[in-house]
Amino acid sequence: MLLSLILYGSRARGDHQLRSDVDLLGVVEGGMIHKEVSKRGASFYHYPAPTLLDKSRSGDLFLLHLVSEGKVLHDTMNFFERVKDEFTFRVSYEEEVREAHLILRFVQSRPSLLQRKKGRKRLIWGMRTILIARCAEQGQARFSSSALEEKSGYNGLKALIDGRNTADIDALLKASDFIVTKFGNPQIDKEWPSELKAQRDLLRLSGGIAKNTTELGALFRFRDTLPTPSDEFYE
């Protein structure tokens, strides 16, 4: 049974571009997270209601995105209102910052990855996640590119985020280095290894999107992996 249907992402926020996807999340009674992708520019997820509630109570950043900017298209018995009411900010989002910091350093070490869309996507994801996490630690929900530029104090960040597919590689690298230096976790740079294998092992240990990112460095070839909503909430 479909309990709720939520429009999220740039289409919900109102700062979408011409080719931005329509991102939809359907809340169902049970089962597992499942993604169905339309070939016409729409992404649709099935998300189990118990999982959604658990993530909201734990302060998950994707849930923060949903409850702060999502547009409710359907809501049986006000279920999504309950999800919103139970959202609780964490005191620290250092785990998310660490993962994003690792991803940024990995991609920065291999600028050739930015010649491909997926490499650029991971770099932008890393920058946005660090800034979103630091805002969340202050009890703020900021996701738009303009709000994140304001938070970062980095002039031109909005243009880089919005134009990530065509932005100058050097400009992307410069912005990402600024963000990890100012908002990241300094300890990561102290432990960051120089060899590819050791870097990949470090990302695998972090898990999540960082683990998937190790595939970007395998002979500099790209493999498609099934994205999760948290991999796409910046859209």
Q: pLDDT tens digits, residue range 197-217? A: 899 899 998 888 888 888 775
- Prediction pTM value: 0.88
Could you tell me the pLDDT band of residue 223, with boundaries at 50, 70 and 90?
Answer: very low
Give how far Cα 109 sits from Cα of 86, 102, 106, 150, Å. Answer: 40, 11, 5, 27
Per mean pLDDT, which range of 30-44, 79-93, 130-144 is the poorest? Answer: 30-44
Could you tell me the pLDDT band of residue 146, with boundaries at 50, 70 and 90?
Answer: very high
State yes or no: pLDDT of 16 exceeds 80.
no
Show the domains of the chain with their CATH numbers. 2-85 (3.30.460.10), 94-231 (no CATH)
Could you tell me the pLDDT band of residue 12, with boundaries at 50, 70 and 90?
Answer: confident
Backbone phi and psi for residue 143, each to the nearest 5 degrees, phi listed first: -135, -25
Average pLDDT over residues 134-150: 96
The contacts of residue 145 (CB under 8 Å, 6+ apart) are 15, 157, 158, 161, 162
The 10s digit of each residue's pLDDT in 149-164 is 999 999 999 999 999 9
| Beta-strand pair 71-75/2-8 | antiparallel
pLDDT at 222: 39
Q: Give the rounded percent of residues in the chain with a pLDDT score beyond 90.
A: 68
Could you tell me the pLDDT band of residue 219, with boundaries at 50, 70 and 90?
Answer: very low
Lateral strand order in the sheet of 22-28 = 34-38, 42-48, 22-28, 2-8, 71-75
Could you tell me the pLDDT band of residue 21, with boundaries at 50, 70 and 90?
Answer: confident
Pairwise CA distance, residues 115 & 100, whole Å: 20
**Greater confidence, 51 or 9?**
51
**Greater confidence, 186 or 11?**
186
CB 166: neighbour CB atoms within 10 A?
6
Q: Which amino acid is present at 7? A: L
Average pLDDT of the residues of the chain = 88
pLDDT at 228: 46
